[in-house]
Chains A and B, each alone.
Chain A
Amino acid sequence: MTYAFYIASFVAVAATVRVITGTHAVHALLYLVVSLLAVATIFLILGAPFAAALEVIIYAGAIMVLFVFVMMMLNPSPRTVRREQHWLTPGIWVGPAILTAILMAELAWVLTGGGDAGSSMETVTPKVVGMTLFGPYILGVEMASVLLLAGLVGAYHLAYHLGRRREREKEGGNER
């Protein structure tokens, strides 16, 4: 399991370097997803399976999907089809594919029992996390809910006025 930790760390750092040096936003996003998956693997190795699942579902799933949606809204150009063809050529996705293949090899190795996973490893189970979260940390949960509500209201407010502004621009353009 020790080597798995270092390999996953290498994948995380390499993918993160490609994120901050990437020129195209979608490529950087692809590498960031790989980096988050690698960090989730590290969580699993460190004995935090609940945090690993949350990392994959919320970070690599929900938050990255938000980024993808915004990129779709920012790129409504007619050159999209040509760019799609350009993206489907190998060389762009081969880097993330290699890094993900390393992670998948690690997963297969762990699942086939190569690293005596689960037998000697001590984990902090989701049950303990839940008991502590809704026990001593209940105030933090309430504060997090207030924060998420504030984020929801803020995003709704901005999006509402953005939509009205676009409608007004469209009407003004038709009159002219």
Chain B
Amino acid sequence: MNTLPNTIPIEHGLIVAAVLFILGVTGVLIRRDMLFVLLSLEIMLNASGLAFIVAGARWLQPDGQIMFIFILAVAAAEVSVGLALILWIYSWNRTLDADCASKMRG
């Protein structure tokens, strides 16, 4: 009854999205390299987009894809500013260790 258009249960799609999101959270928690932290943030944004698409496919509404487009815009803006900040931090203390950045003052 709760199936997507082609007989895939909606729970399975949401489980895939949840697993991807948890992998992203794990990446943020276990990695200290800021580039990997940013990659993990991308994974999390992508997983939330997948959840929106699954929900949109369940009810055959375009709203899920529209939310995915907004997530895409957020990801693009976040990546551009985040990568610029990473370049700044690298030119500051010649490392991308997130723990070293905690010494920042002002």
Contacts and interface: CB of A to CB of B under 8 A. Distances in A.
Q: Do A and B come from one complex?
A: yes
A46 B57 CA distance: 6
B57 A47 contact: yes
Contacts of A46: 4-6, 8, 13, 53-54, 57
Contacts of B70: 140, 144
Contacts of A54: 68-69, 72
Interface string B64-97: 1110111011111111110111111011000010
Contacts, number: 187
Interface in A138-168: 140, 144, 147-148, 150-152, 154-155, 158-159, 162, 165-166
A159 B84 CA distance: 6
Contacts of B66: 129, 132-133, 137, 140
A46 B53 CA distance: 8
A1 B78 contact: no
A48 B20 contact: no
B31 interface: yes
A129 B52 CA distance: 14
Interface bin, chain B: 35 or more
Interface bin, chain A: 35 or more
A154 B19 CA distance: 32
Contacts of B5: 46-47, 121-123
A59 B23 contact: no
8 pairs of A and B residues whose beta carbons are closest in the complex: A151-B77, A20-B27, A158-B84, A46-B57, A144-B73, A155-B80, A132-B62, A122-B5
Interface of A: 1-2, 5-6, 9, 12-13, 16-17, 19-20, 22, 25, 28-29, 32, 35-36, 39, 42-43, 45-48, 50-51, 54-55, 58-59, 62-63, 66-67, 70-71, 73-74, 120-124, 128-129, 131-133, 137, 140, 144, 147-148, 150-152, 154-155, 158-159, 162, 165-166
Interface of B: 4-8, 12-13, 16, 19-20, 23-24, 26-27, 30-31, 33, 35-36, 38-40, 42-43, 46, 49-50, 53-54, 56-57, 60-66, 68-70, 72-81, 83-88, 90-91, 96
